[in-house]
A and B are shown apart, each in its own frame.
Chain A
Amino acid sequence: MKPVEDLISRFVEDPGAATPEELDALIDALEQEPAMVVRLREQLMLDDLLAQKLTVDRRYFMAQVEQRIADYERGQQEIDGHVSDLRALAEAEIERPARRGPPLWMNLLMVAAAVALVAGVFLAPNLLSQGRAVARVEAIEGEAQTVVGQSVHPLAVGEVLKTHQHVTVAEGGSVTIVYADKTRVELAGGTNLVVGGDPLTGAKALTVTQGELFADVAKQIAGPMRFNTPHAVATVLGTQLRITVEAQATRLDVTEGLVEFASKDGSATVRVAANETGEVRDNAMLPTRLLEWPDNRDSVVFLFEGSDKLTLARNPSSGNFRDTPLEEVAGASLAANVHLQLSGGQFVTEDGGNEVTQLCQRTSQFSLETILTPERTRIGGSIVALAFANGRGNFELAQENDRLVFRLQTDGTMGKTETLNLGEIAADAQTHVVVTYRGGSLCGYIDGKQVARRDDVHGGLGNWQEGRLAIGGDSVGGHRWRGQVAGVAVYDRAIEADEVARNVRNYRSVHAVAAREPQWKSLMAEGGPEAYSLAGNWTAADYSWQSEGTGERLLLRPAASGALEKNYDIRTELYVVQSGGEPIELLLPVGSQHVAAVLQPSGSRSTANGLDLIDLVPASDNGSGLVGRQLELQRIYTIDCQVRVSGEQASVLVLVDREPWVEWTGPRASLSLRTERKDWAEDAPVLNVGNNRVQIHSVKVRSQP
C-alpha cells in the first residue's frame, strides 16, 4: 500500500480522530496526487453506505427525520400560540375604552351572584367537610391511610371515598378504587392523592401530588375525568392511562384511547394517543413519544421482543446495539404470534451471551426480565440460562413442575449456586417474570409484584464465565423446557420496583392486540389422561400420555372451561411408537354435523388421508386429502386442525408439520359421518388412535370467535 493510501485508510477509519499533523500530511499528499482525492471521497462514501446497511443504530433514519420534523412543528406551534395570545391581549386593550358600563341585565345578574356568594361563604365549609361519596376501595395491599377533615385512619377495603378525602399509600403497597360506572384506579406505593369531582356536573377528578396511578376509565357521561398534578392536567377523552408524579415532572402513559395533557400554566397542550407517552418536566412539555417495552433501554444489554423485530445485544466496545439473531436448535420454532415456541428445542446466542457476561461483570449487577407461558405444570426445564449447565453457571430461570426458581452464582457464593424461589406458576397463562440482583439483594417479581427477596446473597459477578445465552434449555442444550417465550430483556443494572411495574404495564399496552388473541388451553396442563379418556388404556409418563393400541380415545375438551365454540383449533404433538394398521382419526363436530379427519400411519393398509365422509363418500375417494402420505414411525409430528363454520358453509384444514394434509370447504350438510358412525355422539372433538401405540407430547385446543 502506498503511503497516501495508508493515510486515506487511516482517515476513513475515523475521520474525526485525525490529528492536525495527520490532516496536514493528508492534504499535502492529496494535492500532489489529485487522483487520490477521488479515491478518498469514494472510500468515505462507501464506508458510510456500508454503515447505513449494517450498523443497527443507523437503520432508523426515517424515524429520526420524522422526530426532527415533529419537534420543528411543535416549536412552530408554540410560537404561533404565543403570537395569538399577544394578539388577543392587544385586541382586548383596543376594545376596552369602548365599554361604558354593564347593561341592566348584567347588573341584575351581579346582584344574584353576590347573594349566592354570601350564602356560599356560610354554607360551603360545612358541605366541603362532608364531601360527596364518589368511589369505593376495592383492594388494599400493604398499608394505606386516609384523611377526612382532621381525622386520620387506616384505609379499609369497602370504605366509601368522598370528595376532598386524602389517600396515602405506603411504599411497597397498592390500593385499588372503583367508581359506580366501573372506572378503576390503581394507586401504586408511595402515592398521595386527593379525591375530587365537579360538584355541578359530577365529573370525576383526582389530584395526585406524588406517586403513580393506573386508571381504566369507563365512558364518562358527566364530562371528562381530570387528573391534576403539580405540573399538569390530564383530561381523559378515552379509557386507559397511567400517571407518574415525581418532584419535577409528571408523566402520562396512555394505553387506550386519547388524553388531553396540559402543562399546569396552560402554556402547552398535547393530545396523547394510545401507546404514547407525554411528559411535563420543569414546566415544559416534552415531545410525546411511543410507549415502549422495556421503558428505559439505557441499561438493556440483550433484548428479544418478538420475532418481528431485531434481536439486539449491546456491543461492549462501542456501547451500541447490534443485531444478534437467535439460532434455532431442533424442536424450536417461531409461533404465529412472533413468540418463541419451545417444544423440546431451544434458541441460543453465543455472542449475545458473551456480551451480556462482559457487561454485567463490569457493573456487578443485572436484571432478567422475561414474559413466558408454560405449556404445563408437570414439567421441569431451563427457561433462560446464561452460561449455565448441570446446576452451575452464571444464572438460570427454571420451571420445576408448578414452581419457578432462579439460580445464580456470584463471586461471593463460594462456588455455591444460590436459589430464589419465585412461587407457583400456572400453565397456559402468560407470566411476566423479573429477577434483579445487586450485591446483597436478590429480588423476584411476578407480574409486577415482588414475590421473593433474599438479602443474604453477596458478591460481584467477576466469576461469571462467557457462554451461551439460551432460551428453552440450558447453555449446553440440556434441561429442555416447553412453552412460549414472548420477550427477554437482560440489563446490566438492578432495575427498581417502580420500573418493573412500569415495564409490565408497558408490555401489556404495547402487546394488547396480541394478548387479545384466543388463548390455547393445554389438556396436559394440570390433569392426567384419565380426565379425558373415553376408551382404552392411557398411561401418563413424565412428558407424554401413551396408548396401548387397544382403541384409545381422548375427548378434546378443556375440563375446566367447558365446551368449545363452533369455530375451534386443535394442536397436538404425536409420536407413533408402533403401527397397528388402522388410521388415526380426529372426530370433529362441524356445526351440527360431524366428520372424521383421517391420517394414515406407516404400516396402514391405506395411504389416503382426508375427511370421512363427504356425501357418504369416504376419504379415499372424495379428494379432500393427500394421497400417498403416511405418518412415519418414531418421529414427533405437530398436527394442527382448524374447523370453521359460517352459515351453511364450513371448512376443515389439517396441517402436519405445517403442511396441509387435509383441506376441504363446502356445505356442511354434506358432512355425513353420523349416518355411518352412530356410536359416536360427542359434541366435542375426539382423538381416536385406534390400534396404534402412540405417545402424545402435547394436546391443546382453543375456541375462535
Chain B
Amino acid sequence: MRGIRIVSDEFGTDAGRRPAGEEPVEFEDIVRETSPHIRAYIAGMGVPRHDVDDVAQDVYVELYRFFDRVPADVPMKQWLKGIARNLCLNYFRRTSRRSRLQREALVELLLRAESECTIATAEGPIRRALDTCFEKLPQESRKLLSLKYEQELPSQTIAERLSSTSEAIRVALFRVRNALKDCISRRLASESPA
C-alpha cells in the first residue's frame, strides 16, 4: 500500500508471534489476507451488500488507529472480527427503532450460529478456495452467477432473460451457493493442519 507501512512494536517484541529477524508486519498484507473473510463476515450479519465495504473500511481504519492495542496473544482475524461485530451493531443502531430491534435480534441469532458455520470460522485462504471451486462449477451455474453478480441483475430480470420465474432463479442461486459452500469447506479442511 502506497505510503502506508506499519511496523508494530507489539509484533516486534513478541518473539512468540514473529521470530527475530523476520520482516515487519505490513498493514497492506493484513488487509490483503483478511479482507475477503472480514467482508463476508460483515455480510453474514445481514449488512446489505452495498454497505458491506463501507463497514469493512471502518474496520481497517480502526485497526490502523489502534494498531498498538492488538493483544499479542489474539490472532489478527479474531481481533478484526471483534471490531466488525461492534461496527455492525453500530450500523444497525442507526436504523429506525422497530427495524433496529429486529436487526439486532437477527444479528444475535446469526452470531450464536457462528461456531457451527464452517465458512465463518475458517482460517484458511477463503478467496483462493472460492476461486478453485468456482472453476469447477458447470457452465450453466457460472452463467447464472455472472448475470447475478457481474451484471448485477435482479432475479426478476434474470428470469425474463432465461424464460424462467424469479422464484426458480432464487432457488437455483441458493443451490449454487450451497454447492460452493460445501466445496470451499472441503478445501479449507483439507488444507488446514491436522
Partner-B contacts on A (CB < 8 A): 1, 5-6, 8-17, 20, 23-24, 26-27, 30-31, 34, 37-38, 40-56, 58, 61-62, 64-66, 68-70, 72, 315, 317-318, 320, 322-323
Contacts and interface: CB of A to CB of B under 8 A. Distances in A.
A23 B102 contact: yes
Contacts of B113: 34, 37-38, 41
B44 A55 contact: no
B177 interface: yes
Interface string B121-143: 00000110011001000000000
Contact of B60 (A43, A52, A69): A69
B170 interface: yes
Contact of B40 (A20, A49, A65, A323): A49
Given A52-B127, A55-B152, A26 B106 contact: yes
A38 to B, nearest CB: 5
A72 B149 contact: no
Contacts of A20: 98-99, 102
Given A6-B167, A61-B56, A66-B2, A53 B102 contact: no
18 contacts: A12-B177, A13-B154, A23-B99, A37-B110, A38-B117, A41-B44, A41-B119, A42-B120, A44-B43, A45-B43, A45-B120, A48-B52, A51-B149, A52-B36, A54-B150, A56-B150, A65-B60, A66-B3
B170 A13 contact: yes
A23 B101 CA distance: 10
Contacts of B69: none
Which 5 residue pairs of A and B lie closest in terms of their CB atoms, listed nearest first? A16-B48, A48-B43, A54-B149, A37-B113, A45-B40
A52 B51 CA distance: 13
B181 A46 contact: yes
A64 B53 contact: yes
Nearest to A318: B152
Contacts of A318: 152
Nearest to B43: A48
Contacts of B145: 50, 54
A89 to B, nearest CB: 28
Interface stretch (B9-17, B18-26, B27-35, B78-86): B27-35
Q: Which of A12, A30, A41, A68 has the largest count of B CB atoms less than 10 A from its CB?
A: A41
B189 interface: no
Contacts of A48: 39-40, 42-44, 49, 52
Contact of B151 (A23, A50, A315): A315
Contacts of A31: 109
B118 to A, nearest CB: 8
A40 B110 CA distance: 8
A41 B117 contact: yes
A37 B46 CA distance: 12
Given A20-B98, A23-B106, A62-B31, A44 B44 contact: yes
Contacts of B47: 15
A62 B42 CA distance: 17
Interface in B35-70: 35-36, 39-53, 56-57, 60-61, 64-65
B157 interface: yes
B162 interface: no
A9 B39 contact: no
B150 A70 contact: no
B112 interface: yes
A42 B65 contact: no
A55 B117 contact: no
A51 B153 CA distance: 12
A16 B50 contact: yes
Contacts of B118: 42
Contacts of B152: 55, 315, 317-318, 320, 322
Q: How large is the interface on B (under 10, 10 to 19, 20 to 34, 35 or more residues)?
A: 35 or more
A68 B154 contact: no
Contact of A42 (B61, B157, B181): B181
B43 A317 contact: no
A43 B150 contact: no
A663 B51 CA distance: 56
B102 A14 contact: no
A5 B127 contact: no
Given A15-B48, A24-B102, A69 B64 contact: yes
A5 B172 CA distance: 12
Contacts of B109: 27, 30-31, 37
B90 interface: no
A289 to B, nearest CB: 13
Contacts of A26: 106
A323 B106 contact: no
A5 B149 CA distance: 21
Given A27-B102, A62-B1, A68 B57 contact: yes
B43 A1 contact: no
Contacts of A315: 151-153
Given A10-B170, A42-B117, 14 more contacts: A14-B48, A17-B48, A20-B98, A23-B99, A38-B113, A46-B119, A48-B42, A48-B43, A50-B148, A50-B180, A51-B149, A65-B57, A69-B60, A69-B61
A315 B150 CA distance: 10
B116 A53 contact: no
Contacts of A38: 113, 116-117
A53 B3 CA distance: 26
B72 interface: no
Contacts of B56: 61
Q: Which of B46, B153, B181 has the largest count of A CB atoms less than 10 A from its CB?
A: B46
Contacts of B117: 38, 41-42, 45
Contact of A45 (B27, B28, B41, B153): B41
Nearest to B1: A66
A527 to B, nearest CB: 49
A34 B112 CA distance: 10
A13 B103 CA distance: 16
Nearest to A16: B48
Contacts of A61: 31, 35, 39, 53, 56-57
A553 B56 CA distance: 67
Contacts of A56: 150
B174 A8 contact: yes
B160 to A, nearest CB: 11
Q: Which of B105, B130, B146, B177 has the largest count of A CB atoms less than 10 A from its CB?
A: B177
A72 B43 contact: no
Q: Which of B36, B49, B64 has the largest count of A CB atoms less than 10 A from its CB?
A: B49
A607 B93 CA distance: 79
Contact of B177 (A23, A50, A69): A50
Nearest to B180: A46
A68 B105 CA distance: 31
B194 interface: no
B171 A9 contact: yes
A15 B180 CA distance: 20
